[in-house]
Chain A
Amino acid sequence: MELTLWTYEGPPHVGAMRIASSMKDIHYVLHAPQGDTYADLLFTMIERRGQRPPVTYTTFQARDLGGDTAELVKKNIKEAVERFKPKTLLVGESCTAELIQDQPGALAKGMGFDMPIVNLELPAYSKKENWGASETFYQLTRTLLKEKVSSSEKISPLRWKELGRRPKVNILGPSLLGFRCRDDVIEIQRILSEQGIDTNVVAPLGASPDDIERLIDAEINICLYPEIAEASCEWLKRNFGMEYTNTIPIGIKNTIEFINEVHNKLNLPLTNKEELENKSKLPWYSKSVDSNYLTGKRVFIFGDGTHAIAAAKIAKEELGFEVVGLGTYSREMARQVRATAKDLNLEALITNNYLEVEDAMKKAAPELVLGTQMERHSAKRLGIPCSVISTPMHVQDVPARYSPQMGWEGANVIFDDWVHPLMMGLEEHLIDMFKHDFEFVDGHQSHLGHTATNTKDILNSDEKKENNPKEGIIWTESGRAELTKVPFFVRGKVKTNTEKYAILRGIPEINDETLYDAKAYFS
Chain B
Amino acid sequence: MSKVEFNKETGPREVFCGLTSIVWLHRRMPDAFFLVVGSRTCAHLIQSAAGVMIFAEPRFGTAILEEKDLAGLADAHEELDRVVNDLIARRPEIKTLFLVGSCPSEVIKLDLATVAEKLNKRFLGQVRFVNYSGSGIETTFTQGEDGALKALIPLMESSNEEKLLLVGTLANNVEDRFKKIFKNLGISNIESFPPRQSTELPKIGKNTKVLLTQPYLSDTVRDLKHRGCEIISAPFPLGIEGSTEWFLAAAKAFKINELKVHEIISPLIDRAKLALESHKEILKGKRLFLLPESQLEISLARFLHNECEMDLIEVGTPYLNKDLMKEEINLLPDNTKIVEGQHVEKQLDRVRESNPDLVVCGMGLANPLEAEGISTKWSIEMVFSPIHGIDQAADLAGLFSKPLRRNQILTTKTLVTH
Contact B11 A59, beta carbon cutoff 8 Å: yes
Contact B135 A49, beta carbon cutoff 8 Å: no
**Size of A's binding interface in residues, CB under 8 A:** 57
* Chain A residues, Cβ within 8 Å of B47: 6-7
CA distance A377 to B18 in the complex (A): 26
The digit string for B1-21, where 1 denotes a CB below 8 A from any CB of A, is: 000000000011111111110
B417 at the interface (CB under 8 A from A): yes
Contact A50 B13, beta carbon cutoff 8 Å: no
A490 at the interface (CB under 8 A from B): no
Contact B107 A52, beta carbon cutoff 8 Å: no
Contact B39 A125, beta carbon cutoff 8 Å: yes
A276 at the interface (CB under 8 A from B): no
* Chain A residues, Cβ within 8 Å of B57: 5, 355
Q: Using A1-B76, A37-B15, A51-B371 as known contacts, say yes or no to A96 and B418 having CB atoms under 8 A apart.
A: no
Contact B61 A380, beta carbon cutoff 8 Å: no
Contact A124 B49, beta carbon cutoff 8 Å: no
Give chain A nearest CB distance to B33 CB in angstroms: 10
**Chain A contact residues, CB within 8 Å of chain B:** 1-7, 9-11, 13-14, 33-42, 44-45, 48-52, 56-62, 64-65, 76, 79, 83, 94-96, 99-100, 123-126, 128, 355, 373, 377, 380-381, 394
B108 at the interface (CB under 8 A from A): yes
CA distance A373 to B13 in the complex (A): 30
Partner of A50, one of B14, B45, B415: B415
CA distance A523 to B64 in the complex (A): 50
CA distance A94 to B135 in the complex (A): 14
CA distance A21 to B182 in the complex (A): 53
The digit string for B21-41, where 1 denotes a CB below 8 A from any CB of A, is: 000000000000000000111
B323 at the interface (CB under 8 A from A): no
Give chain B nearest CB distance to A371 CB in angstroms: 14
Contact A2 B367, beta carbon cutoff 8 Å: no
> Closest 3 interchain pairs by CB?
A35-B17, A50-B417, A35-B136
Contact B39 A4, beta carbon cutoff 8 Å: no
* Chain B residues, Cβ within 8 Å of A4: 43, 61-62, 64
Contact B66 A37, beta carbon cutoff 8 Å: no
CA distance A6 to B104 in the complex (A): 19
* Chain A residues, Cβ within 8 Å of B370: 50
* Chain A residues, Cβ within 8 Å of B13: 34, 37, 57, 59
User: From A124, which residue of chain B is reached at the shortest CB distance?
Assistant: B39
CA distance A114 to B49 in the complex (A): 38
Contact B79 A1, beta carbon cutoff 8 Å: yes
CA distance A129 to B69 in the complex (A): 20
Q: Using A6-B51, A33-B137 as known contacts, say yes or no to A52 and B63 having CB atoms under 8 A apart.
A: no
Some 14 contacts from A to B, beta carbons below 8 A apart, are A5-B57, A14-B44, A34-B17, A34-B136, A35-B18, A35-B140, A36-B41, A41-B48, A48-B367, A50-B416, A51-B418, A123-B67, A125-B67, A377-B55
Contact A41 B137, beta carbon cutoff 8 Å: no
Give chain A nearest CB distance to B134 CB in angstroms: 8
B157 at the interface (CB under 8 A from A): no
Q: Using A35-B45, A44-B366 as known contacts, say yes or no to A62 and B137 having CB atoms under 8 A apart.
A: yes
* Chain B residues, Cβ within 8 Å of A123: 67
Contact A59 B41, beta carbon cutoff 8 Å: no
B73 at the interface (CB under 8 A from A): no
Determine the main DSSP class of B at the interface with A. Answer: helix
B181 at the interface (CB under 8 A from A): no
User: Number of contact residues on B: which range applies?
Assistant: 35 or more
Contact A60 B137, beta carbon cutoff 8 Å: yes
Give chain A nearest CB distance to B59 CB in angstroms: 9
Contact A11 B17, beta carbon cutoff 8 Å: no
Contact B345 A124, beta carbon cutoff 8 Å: no
CA distance A36 to B363 in the complex (A): 13
Contact A65 B137, beta carbon cutoff 8 Å: yes
CA distance A126 to B67 in the complex (A): 6
Query: Which stretch of B81-89, B203-211, B230-238 is in the interface?
Result: B81-89
Contact A41 B364, beta carbon cutoff 8 Å: yes
Q: Could you say which of B104, B106, B416 has the most chain A C-beta atoms within 10 Å of its C-beta?
A: B104
Partner of B44, one of A10, A34, A44: A10
Give chain A nearest CB distance to B84 CB in angstroms: 9
* Chain B residues, Cβ within 8 Å of A50: 367-368, 370-371, 415-418
Contact B417 A96, beta carbon cutoff 8 Å: no
Give chain A nearest CB distance to B417 CB in angstroms: 2
CA distance A90 to B362 in the complex (A): 25
Q: Which of B347-366 contact A (CB under 8 A)?
A: 362-366
CA distance A57 to B345 in the complex (A): 11
* Chain B residues, Cβ within 8 Å of A13: 41
Q: Could you say which of B20, B60, B368 has the most chain A C-beta atoms within 10 Å of its C-beta?
A: B368
B124 at the interface (CB under 8 A from A): no
The digit string for B401-418, where 1 denotes a CB below 8 A from any CB of A, is: 000000000000001111
Q: Could you say which of A52, A57, A380 has the most chain B C-beta atoms within 10 Å of its C-beta?
A: A52
Q: Using A38-B364, A96-B137 as known contacts, say yes or no to A128 and B371 having CB atoms under 8 A apart.
A: no
CA distance A58 to B137 in the complex (A): 11
* Chain A residues, Cβ within 8 Å of B140: 34-35
Q: Using A11-B39, A33-B136, A394-B52 as known contacts, say yes or no to A125 and B65 having CB atoms under 8 A apart.
A: yes
Contact B138 A7, beta carbon cutoff 8 Å: no
Q: Could you say which of A51, A96, A99 has the most chain B C-beta atoms within 10 Å of its C-beta?
A: A96
* Chain A residues, Cβ within 8 Å of B283: none
Partner of A94, one of B41, B108, B138, B363: B41
Contact B371 A95, beta carbon cutoff 8 Å: no
CA distance A381 to B366 in the complex (A): 32
B288 at the interface (CB under 8 A from A): no
* Chain A residues, Cβ within 8 Å of B415: 50
Contact B83 A1, beta carbon cutoff 8 Å: yes
Contact B16 A35, beta carbon cutoff 8 Å: yes
Give chain B nearest CB distance to A360 CB in angstroms: 16
Contact B52 A373, beta carbon cutoff 8 Å: yes
Contact A59 B65, beta carbon cutoff 8 Å: no
CA distance A333 to B226 in the complex (A): 57
* Chain A residues, Cβ within 8 Å of B371: 50-51
Contact A61 B137, beta carbon cutoff 8 Å: yes
Partner of B107, one of A37, A65, A76: A65
Partner of A5, one of B48, B58, B363: B58
* Chain A residues, Cβ within 8 Å of B367: 44-45, 48-50
* Chain A residues, Cβ within 8 Å of B366: 44-45
Contact B64 A1, beta carbon cutoff 8 Å: yes
B329 at the interface (CB under 8 A from A): no
Contact B40 A61, beta carbon cutoff 8 Å: no
CA distance A83 to B15 in the complex (A): 21
Q: Which of B370-391 contact A (CB under 8 A)?
A: 370-371
* Extra 17 A-B pairs, beta carbons < 8 Å, given A5-B60, A38-B20, A83-B345: A4-B62, A6-B47, A10-B40, A11-B40, A35-B20, A35-B135, A36-B45, A37-B13, A38-B44, A50-B415, A51-B417, A62-B106, A95-B103, A99-B70, A99-B107, A123-B67, A373-B52
* Chain B residues, Cβ within 8 Å of A6: 47, 51, 58
Contact B104 A95, beta carbon cutoff 8 Å: yes
Partner of A3, one of B83, B106, B416: B83
* Chain A residues, Cβ within 8 Å of B103: 33, 35, 95-96
